[in-house]
Amino acid sequence: MSQHSVRIQWTASDHPSQPGTYSRDHTATISPEVTIPVSAAAAFLGNDTLADPEQLLVNALASCHMLYFLAVCEGSGFKIESYEDEAVGHVEKSADGSQWVSAITISPKVTFGGSKTPDHAALERLHHRAHKGCFIANSIKSNVTINVV
């Protein structure tokens, strides 16, 4: 159907505050115009001023959900004025001791325009449809919770 490419580049350099180890900073090139500075999470000796892979996974899920939600709403005759989310991912140890993003919670706040607005039950159904259609949600094993406001 489609293919999605990212170029990751890292060059060896010393860690700025941890002697004897390497910098985790690198770049993710999405297109000739878009490069994202990335590092490990601060808990793993990364640079806390840069995006980390776990944040990018949470972003991927939240963005995918939003885009699918916007499409579902448009197809259902709802006009969206704004959408914002405070998504959170949780990293934990699994039973075998490996770390993983065990849960992601999204909390979308949607402002509707026009004369047609969904009640709370309809809003939950719209988010459920968006979650079922979200490519990223269909690709991960993390538990996803949607706090419908």
In this predicted structure, what is the pLDDT of residue 53?
97
Contact by Cβ (8 Å): 61, 106: yes
* Cα-based torsion angle of the residue sequence 123, 127, 132, 137 in order, rounded to the nearest 10 degrees: -170
Per DSSP, the three-state class of 76 is coil
Q: pLDDT digits over 60-106, tens only?
A: 999 999 999 999 999 999 999 999 999 999 999 999 999 999 999 99
In this predicted structure, what is the pLDDT of residue 149?
84
Give exposure, 49-84, as e/b (b: 16+ Cβ within 10 Å).
ebbbebeebbebbbebbbebbeebbeeeebeeeebe
Residue listed under structure tokens 């406001």: 149
**Closest of 25, 20, 30 to residue 40, by C-alpha:** 25
Q: Which of the four pLDDT bands, split at 50, 70 and 90, describes residue 121? A: very high
> Which regions of the chain carry the CATH code 3.30.300.20?
53-146
In this predicted structure, what is the pLDDT of residue 137?
98
Residue listed under structure tokens 């500075």: 37
pTM here is 0.94
Could you give the C-alpha distances from 126 to 68, 76, 123, 129, 137, in angstroms and in order?
Answer: 10, 9, 5, 5, 15
Largest Cα–Cα distance in the chain? 62
Contacts for 50 with CB less than 8 Å, ≥ 6 apart: 25, 37, 38, 39
Amino acid, res. 15? H
Second-level CATH architecture of 53-146: 2-Layer Sandwich (3.30)
